[in-house]
């Protein structure tokens, strides 16, 4: 007993010495310590023309934010990430070292000194393509139109199409959807699919009364092709929101883009002070080495359950999900997909609109054992994040992925503009969606891809 006490005393003494040594250590300064932390973790968003409200590129930019930065990083609110840290490991989770958090905090506590000398050179953002790749995209596909966004206000959501410029199917390891001018793009989505036979791309009004531009599919009779309001075109490839828009697969896994298919570019613009031009672009990285797994987009909502009842198709084959009543605070829906074959799961993307509150993905194995794969407890519709598993997950045949989502249509939801309205299902921002996206490969198909030349 005695011995332990002495030992503790010695320990405490040496800790105290350490602590006092630390407090007399020179305070961190912007030039020596802080700039490099901000460059590595923050300035992809916090720089002029980017999504975040203020730049953190220079001492003058960052100094007024020292206390706010300390608060936000210690609360783990910045860099933004919405998954429950207790569940799953994700390879795109922003990793900021604990030591760096403490350095940011110590800098704020010391009054945010600049330090002597000069800060390190700022990072080179190149042309805006993801720095997670070892090279620039192999191909950049431009959207068929450049849009001039007039003064302040919202431009109605619209879609234009272009045909894939490939003579063969191509396999891609990464895709990035990015605007040339981020300032005026609220979000954009890129889907891929087939248009009805005899369709050609021509000119038409982008929306009733809107500008006449190119990239609109015209059917055999010359009428513009329109997707029914409760349907979607093809399947989604990538979704751009500030800070997002990048999709990649592990080595040897790739997504097939089929020759002859069409890209549909859905866009939502928001004007600010003056007229500004922007164009969406798709950066494509081809898979360079043997592709052995083809990734497919699936959704964990092939069956849907509301209020304990499964929503079954009506006589005309249409699935009608009940509307979300006005002011409902915790409206629940469950979606299921059961895999007939062994599959490998790569990533999950919970997609909802402004009433989305939370979503949880659970694996139910054939023996009934459950395992939570992803929990997003505070869903933020402005950050459409694809959660990439650190290690792809093998899932045995006859397993189910269950996705449970809650919606808040009350005034308590800060994103909700109209709590007195019933919410219908559909692709417009004022409608709701429930799409638990999965990127999966079907294992038995994969031998087919062994040795495929991805070019
Ligand atoms: C993926 C983009 C992104 C990254 C990376 C990011 N931020 Fe932010 N940050 C934002 C956006 C967008 C906002 C405004 C919305 C909000 O407050 O959530 C914001 C807000 C903030 C605010 C609050 C500003 C205010 O008005 O009070 C602080 C402070 C902040 N960020 C600090 C940081 C720091 C420090 C880092 C790096 C450790 C960082 N952010 C990384 C996008 C980002």
Q: How confident is the model at residue 206 (pLDDT cuts 50, 70, 90)?
A: confident
244 lines ligand 1 (CB under 6 A): no
CA of 68 to the centre of ligand 1 (A): 9
Distance 62 CA to ligand 1 centre (A): 12
Least confident of 40-49, 290-299, 443-452: 443-452
The pLDDT tens digits for 152-170 are 888 888 889 999 999 999 9
The per-residue pLDDT for 197 is 85
Question: What pLDDT does 455 receive?
Answer: 39
d(CA 236, CA 254): 15
Average the pLDDT over 256-281 and give the result.
90
Give distance in angstroms: CA of 241 to centre of ligand 1: 15
Q: What is the rounded average pLDDT of the residues 409-427? A: 92
Closest-lying ligand 1 atom to the alpha carbon of residue 382: 12
Give the residue, by CA position, lying nearest to ligand 1 atom 16: 52
Average pLDDT over residues 238-244: 80
Q: Specify the DSSP class assigned to residue 90.
A: B
Domains and CATH numbers, the chain: 24-125 (no CATH), 139-289 (2.60.120), 296-447 (2.60.120.230)
Q: What percentage of residues in the chain have a pLDDT greater than 70? A: 91
pLDDT of 13 > 60? The answer is: no
96 lines ligand 1 (CB under 6 A): yes
Distance CA 84, CA 336 (A): 21
Q: Say how many C-beta atoms besides its own lie within 10 A of residue 138's C-beta.
A: 17
Ligand 1 contacts CB of residue 65 (under 6 A): yes
User: Is the preceding peptide bond at 79 cis, omega within 30 degrees of 0?
Assistant: yes
**How far apart, in whole angstroms, are the C-alpha atoms of residue 91 and residue 149?**
36
Question: Beta strand pairing status for 253-257 and 293-299?
Answer: parallel
pLDDT computed for residue 230 by the predictor: 57
Report the predicted TM-score, pTM, of the whole model to 2 decimal places. 0.82
d(CA 452, CA 294): 11
User: Which of 187, 11, 44 lies closest to 126 in space, CA to CA?
Assistant: 44
Tell whether ligand 1 has an atom less than 6 A from the beta carbon of residue 45.
yes
Phi, psi of 442 (to 5 degrees): -90, 115
pLDDT at 231: 66
- If you take atom 36 of ligand 1, which residue's CA is the nearest one? 42
Does 222 score more than 70 pLDDT? yes
99 contact partners, CB below 8 Å, separation of at least 6:
none
Task: State the chain's mean pLDDT as an integer.
Answer: 87
Residue nearest to atom 15 of ligand 1 (CA): 52
The atom of ligand 1 lying closest to the CA of 77 is 18
pLDDT tens by residue, 75-115: 888 888 899 999 999 998 888 899 999 999 999 999 999 99
Distance 222 CA to ligand 1 centre (A): 48
Q: What are phi and psi of 208, to 5 degrees?
A: -50, 120
pLDDT of residue 44: 84
Residue 453 confidence (pLDDT): 44
């Amino acid at each position: 007993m005695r011995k332990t006490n002495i030992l503790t005393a010695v320990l405490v003494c040496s800790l105290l010495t350490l602590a006092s040594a630390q407090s007399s250590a020179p305070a961190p300064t912007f030039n020596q310590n802080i700039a490099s932390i901000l460059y590595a973790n923050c300035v992809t968003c916090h720089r002029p023309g980017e999504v975040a409200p203020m730049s953190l590129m220079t001492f003058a930019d960052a100094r007024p934010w020292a206390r706010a930065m300390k608060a936000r990083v210690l609360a783990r609110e910045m860099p933004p990430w919405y998954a429950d840290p207790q569940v799953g490991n994700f390879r795109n989770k922003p990793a900021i070292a604990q030591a760096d958090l403490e350095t940011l905090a110590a800098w704020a506590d010391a009054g945010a000194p600049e330090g002597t000398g000069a800060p390190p050179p700022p990072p080179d953002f190149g042309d805006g393509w993801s720095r997670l790749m070892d090279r620039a995209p192999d191909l950049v596909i431009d959207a068929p139109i450049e849009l001039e966004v007039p003064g302040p206000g919202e431009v109605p959501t619209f879609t234009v199409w272009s045909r894939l410029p490939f003579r063969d199917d191509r396999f891609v390891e990464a895709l990035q959807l990015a605007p040339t001018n981020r300032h005026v793009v609220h979000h954009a989505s890129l889907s891929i699919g087939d248009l009805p036979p005899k369709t050609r791309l021509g000119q038409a009004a982008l929306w009733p009364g809107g500008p006449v531009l190119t990239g609109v599919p015209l059917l055999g009779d010359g009428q513009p092709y329109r997707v029914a309001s409760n349907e979607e075109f093809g399947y989604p490839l990538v979704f751009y929101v500030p800070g997002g828009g990048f999709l990649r697969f592990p080595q040897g896994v790739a997504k097939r883009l089929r020759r002859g298919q069409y890209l549909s570019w859905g866009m939502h613009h928001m004007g600010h002070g003056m007229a500004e031009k922007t164009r969406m672009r798709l950066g494509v990285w081809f898979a360079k080495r043997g592709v052995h797994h083809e990734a497919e987009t699936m959704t964990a909502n092939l069956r849907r359950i509301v209020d304990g009842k499964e929503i079954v198709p009506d006589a005309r084959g249409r699935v009608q999900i009940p509307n979300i009543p006005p002011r409902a605070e915790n409206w629940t829906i469950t979606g299921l997909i059961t895999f007939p074959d062994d599959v490998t799961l790569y990533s999950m993307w919970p997609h909802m609109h402004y009433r989305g509150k939370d979503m949880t993905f659970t694996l139910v194995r054939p023996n009934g054992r459950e395992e939570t794969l992803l929990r997003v407890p505070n869903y933020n519709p402005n950050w459409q994040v694809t959660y990439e598993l650190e290690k792809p997950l093998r899932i045995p045949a006859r397993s189910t992925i269950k996705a449970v989502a809650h919606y808040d249509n009350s005034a308590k939801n800060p994103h909700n503009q109209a709590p007195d309205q019933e919410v219908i299902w559909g692709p417009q921002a004022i409608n709701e969606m429930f799409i638990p996206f999965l990127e999966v490969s079907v294992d038995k198909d994969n031998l087919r891809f062994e040795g495929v030349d991805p070019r």
